[in-house]
Amino acid sequence: MSHKAGFVSIVGKPNAGKSTLMNALVGEKMSIITPKAQTTRHRILGIVNHEDYQIVFSDTPGIIKPHYALQETMMHQVSGSLVDADLVLLVTDINEKYDESDAIEKLQGSLAPLCVIINKIDKSDEETVKAKVAYWQEKLNPKAIFAVSALKEHNVLAVMNFVIEHLPEHPPYYEKDFLTDRNDRFFASEIIREKIFKIYEKEIPYSTEVIITAFKEGDELYRISSEIIVERDSQKNILIGKGGETLKRVGTYARKDMEELFQRKVFLEMFVKVIPDWRQKKNYLKQFGYES
């Protein structure tokens, strides 16, 4: 039985509904969704694993910010992720005016099949949808155009089927079993860890472990408590920073990412705890999931 796998680049202006579409597409089948930069080219949002296929959805950050002077380097990176995409999904908001010229320009460099997704049709009418479809058809002549409401999950399945159909035959890029048992707690700790790597230098990130001690899911709000474990008091002081400022930054950035990921408000608590030389101690390594 042949196996399909490929990178699907999701392109679109920041408020076009990319993350809502991602969540709808990936849904329950999702194994992993993280804003971490996995490679220089792709920012991976979600991986969908199935016996017969693996879809790696990736975002191309900063492509379409029409208000900024776009730096060359950023554009190279974007073009890169479009060049080695196997499929490109352009997500547009039905109520946007046709000012997607910078997006269109970027797409010229891509040979991958293109699919245009007109989102938020629940806030529109049939006539507008038809006009928009005709506009994109003429403008880009894509492989397919889908009018969807990511929020109401209308027509999302059709997009998913299109993606699966257009994936190339390829073995999986990521181990399948490794990714399937990751849960929200794991992503919460990964997000905090990522911020620690970004904000602190030298040995701090490497001597740090993040444990989620409580994860309470409410309809409106997630309450998450975490412990950041370090090996020495000096590291604890650096981590907390003067008057707690540095740790507060970690919390602010982490909370923002979590809210985007879980699509909920997040209340985040962080405590710093010293466990001398935890990396040398088998019982702690085991407790933190490093050894079976």
In tens, the pLDDT along 224-274 reads 999 998 888 988 998 899 999 999 999 999 999 888 878 889 999 999 988
Q: Binding site: residue ranges?
A: 12-19, 59-63, 119-122
Q: What count of Cα atoms within 13 Å lies in the side-chain half-sphere of residue 238?
A: 17
pLDDT score of 131: 87
When pLDDT is cut at 50, 70 and 90, the band that residue 77 belongs to is very low
Q: Measured between alpha carbons, how far is 67 from 86 in angstroms, rounded to an integer?
A: 29
pLDDT score of 186: 77
Q: Measured between alpha carbons, how far is 206 from 237 in angstroms, rounded to an integer?
A: 16
Q: Measured between alpha carbons, how far is 182 from 31 in angstroms, rounded to an integer?
A: 7
pLDDT score of 19: 67
Contact 257, 43 (CB under 8 A): no
- Comparing CA positions, the residue from 147, 40, 52 lying closest to residue 91 is 147
**Is 183-287 a domain of CATH 3.30.300.20?**
yes
Q: Binding site for GTP: residue ranges?
A: 12-19, 59-63, 119-122
When pLDDT is cut at 50, 70 and 90, the band that residue 114 belongs to is confident
pLDDT higher for 49 or 4? 4
Q: Measured between alpha carbons, how far is 178 from 104 in angstroms, rounded to an integer?
A: 37
pLDDT score of 67: 38
- Comparing CA positions, the residue from 73, 155, 63 lying closest to residue 102 is 63
- In the block, tokens 């460099």 appear at 109
Pairing between β-strand 87-93 and β-strand 114-119 as defined by DSSP bridges:
parallel
Residue ranges, CATH 3.40.50.300, the chain: 4-177
pLDDT score of 288: 59
CATH superfamily of 4-177: P-loop containing nucleotide triphosphate hydrolases (3.40.50.300)
Mean pLDDT of 12-24: 69
User: Is the pLDDT reported for residue 180 higher than 60?
Assistant: no
Query: In this predicted model, what pLDDT tens digit does every residue of 138-164 receive, in sequence order?
Result: 888 889 999 888 777 778 888 899 999
pLDDT score of 74: 44
> CA of 156: how far to CAs of 18, 47, 146, 196, in Å?
12, 16, 9, 36
When pLDDT is cut at 50, 70 and 90, the band that residue 280 belongs to is low
User: Is the pLDDT reported for residue 276 higher than 90?
Assistant: no
Q: Measured between alpha carbons, how far is 230 from 232 in angstroms, rounded to an integer?
A: 6
Q: Measured between alpha carbons, how far is 284 from 231 in angstroms, rounded to an integer?
A: 12
Mean pLDDT, the chain, rounded, equals 76
Residue ranges, CATH 3.30.300.20, the chain: 183-287
Pairing between β-strand 30-32 and β-strand 43-49 as defined by DSSP bridges:
antiparallel
Q: What percent of the chain has pLDDT over 90?
A: 17
